[in-house]
Amino acid sequence: MTRIGIIGTGAIAAVHLDAYRQFPERSEVVAVCDKFTDKAQSFVEQHSLSATVFSDYRKMLSAPGIDAVSICLPPNLHAQATIDALDSGKHVLVEKPMASSLEECDRMIEAAQRNGKLLSVVCQNRFKTPVAKVKRMIDSGAIGDVLLATFNSLWWRGEMYYDLWWRGTWEQESGGCFLNHSVHHVDLMHMLFGVPETVRGFITNLAHDNSQCEDLGFALFDYGNMIVNFTSSLVSHGEKQTISIQGKNGSLEIPWSVEAFKPLPNGFPEQDREAITRLQALYDSIPELPYEGHPAQIRNFLCAIGGEEPLAIDGGEGRNTLELIIAVYKSSVLGKPVTLPILKDDPFYRKESMLSCMPHFHEKKRSIENFDPSAGISLGRDMGT
């Protein structure tokens, strides 16, 4: 039985709690922490938890009887809380994005290695059945060489979204829609295709005047023999998030659909029904995942703690995804393509030097401590549908 502490009791903390509760034979949430004690106490009461409430996570980490923690704090707090937890002998599951900078990621990874503890970064969309099936199909060569992929990470947020105290500044939130919303789609791109050769980026802010950061961005990830065209948005009604993968022999999309053409004698397209039937049959033959989303990743985290299976997503995976996003920011600022990796002497490696480079589209003018929790949140379009 792994005894869990949750640090931060915002909306995503409830998602972690619900996932841990799916595996009562493996885990129990025994402590929660939030600097707003009334918020933490309300979280415990609302979810009928038998858990100790802390206002200082360091005190929680020094308390006996906790084996691992979920860190559900604002992005700029991820690194220090993770390092402190690892140094106190706890395994760590940290929410996305992993940290505010690559330098912080490296210190987190070093802390995990130094203490012999597990560090995992939330990438729950990797654990969705359509994603897993499409990955298998690409790797099998079912659609031939991939030529073009289009990622539409489309979200919508009202202007008051950025009134929350930590949102909308490079210092606190560490980025806009690319970092805090599209991180999952960037992670899926990395999962499917690996690391590109060059990155071209563009960011702007069109509709959120209480945020320094971007609410719209575009990127081209050049893999040499293929291109990924990426849109990141907070101004898209309907939030129609899609991934389209165009191979030489057909196309696959998430949410799932399949298409294939063959040429007429003049080169114009004709639907290739035989290829479509074959691709659909292959998709149907790949088994569904037994667990999906946060529950699937948290189950893996618990099993890895128990030595039953390897950790699926470690700190290195989280760092790789952050590096791709920082490359988008670097290209946007410099106005030219950038290559990877981002080295330690690069201004975009450390948070302080990167912050000095970033544009302020607006300045933060309004700030509140918390929203009414009854308003709820949405997690965007489910990549499993």
Which structural domains are found in the chain, ordered by start?
Answer: 2-124+293-313 (3.40.50.720), 126-289+321-375 (3.30.360.10)
Pair 107, 86: CB distance under 8 Å: no
The contacts of residue 152 (CB under 8 Å, 6+ apart) are 231, 240, 241, 242, 243
What pLDDT does residue 370 have? 79
Whether the pLDDT of residue 320 is over 70: the answer is yes
pLDDT band, residue 196 (cuts 50/70/90): very high
Residue 369, pLDDT score: 86
What does the mean pLDDT of the chain come to?
Answer: 96
- What pLDDT score was predicted for residue 378? 62
- Lowest mean pLDDT, pick from 162-176, 197-211, 311-325: 162-176
pLDDT band for 140, please (50, 70, 90 cuts).
very high
Specify the pLDDT at position 383.
57
pLDDT value at position 324? 98
**330, 338 Cβ separation under 8 angstroms:** yes
The model's pLDDT over 273-313, given as tens digits with 9 standing for 90+, comes to 999 999 999 999 999 999 999 999 999 999 999 999 999 99
> How big is the CA angle at 11 (ends 9 and 12), to the nearest 5 degrees?
85
**How high is the pLDDT of residue 96?**
95
Query: Would you say residue 371 has pLDDT above 80?
Result: no
The answer to whether residue 30 scores a pLDDT higher than 80 is: yes
Q: Is the pLDDT of residue 43 over 60?
A: yes
Q: What DSSP letter does each residue of 120-148 carry, written as one string?
A: EE--GGGG-HHHHHHHHHHHHTTT-SEEE
Nearest to 241 by CA among 185, 201, 175, 320: 185
Q: Is the pTM of this model over 0.75?
A: yes
Indicate whether 345 pLDDT > 70: yes
| C-alpha–C-alpha distance, residues 202 and 195, integer Å | 19
Instruction: Identify the helix (H) or strand (E) that includes residue 110.
Output: helix 102-115
